[in-house]
Amino acid sequence: MTAKYESDKPIYLQIMDRISKEIVRGVLKPGNKLPSVREMAIQAGVNPNTIQRTYSEMERMEIVETRRGQGTFVTEDEGMLMKLKRDLEIKMVEGFVQSMKEIGASEKEIVESVERFLAGGIKEHD
């Protein structure tokens, strides 16, 4: 299963984002073993060096840990997992707010749009 990648962002960062979201959603739980570099490369349809870079960056950020001879595992540090969730939330909100500002929405309009959406009042028109 080859994933689709955006051309404006390095693939290793896109894979890192996908894995991070799976961790935050609980699909990957603390202590879970990640697929080997080769397995993940095949699943993602990328070069193993890309996955090695992804895992190395995630280890540097303390999201995962590599155990020699055993593989790469999701951290069991609850504080780090909470930080990961907060960081993802901030990144997503920043992207949304920036996009809304690009179309000329004020802060008040952005908040009102979110409130309407959450209440089920914003629908895409045909």
What are the pLDDT tens digits along the chain (126 aa)?
A: 457 898 899 999 999 999 999 999 999 999 999 999 999 999 999 999 999 999 999 999 999 999 999 999 999 999 999 999 999 999 999 999 999 999 999 999 999 999 999 998 766 654
**pTM listed for this prediction:** 0.82
Question: What CATH topology corresponds to 11-76?
Answer: Arc Repressor Mutant, subunit A (1.10.10)
* HEC profile of the chain: CCCCCCCCCCHHHHHHHHHHHHHHHCCCCCCCECCCHHHHHHHHCCCHHHHHHHHHHHHHCCCEEEECCCEEEECCCHHHHHHHHHHHHHHHHHHHHHHHHHCCCCHHHHHHHHHHHHCCCCCCCC
Q: What is the pLDDT of residue 120?
A: 87
Q: What is the pLDDT of residue 124?
A: 64
Domain boundaries, the chain: 11-76, 79-118
